[in-house]
Amino acid sequence: MKKIFVLLAALLTAINFSGCGTDKPASDKVKVVATIFPAYDWTREIIGGDEHFALTLLGDSGVDLHSFQPSAQDIMTIADCDVFIYVGGESDEWATKLFIKI
């Protein structure tokens, strides 16, 4: 009877620890997202060529800043970032509303 209990305990322990491994290594980079190009460019100049940062600019070139609405992918990018840089005010009013919901 004790052998069955020990075997069952070992099996349960192995099952519990089988989910502890990760499929992909976590990125060591600090993810930075900027909403407008001047903030993006300023941050890029500060960061320089440092490989510890991953800098992203929301929006495409030529898009009117005042009419920008983030896509679902943009919202996921913001939710996943470590640092979010935005100006605020009327241009980034959507960002303020987004943080109220997050």
pLDDT of 53 strictly over 90: yes
Q: Identify whether 82 is part of a domain.
A: yes
Residue 57 lies in a domain: yes
Task: Judge whether 30 lies within some domain.
Answer: yes
The verdict on residue 13 lying in a domain is no
How confident is the model at residue 82, as a pLDDT?
94
- Per-residue pLDDT band for 7 (boundaries 50, 70, 90) equals very low
Best CA proximity match to 86, nearest among 71, 76, 98: 98
Total of domains in the chain: 1
Q: In which order are the strands placed within the sheet that holds 30-34? A: 53-57, 30-34, 83-85
Domain presence at residue 79: yes
Digit-coded pLDDT (tens) for 26-37: 668 999 999 888
What's 55's domain CATH number? Answer: 3.40.50.1980
* Range of the structural domain that residue 58 is part of: 23-101
Evaluate whether residue 96 is within a structural domain: yes
Q: Which of the four pLDDT bands, split at 50, 70 and 90, describes residue 55?
A: very high
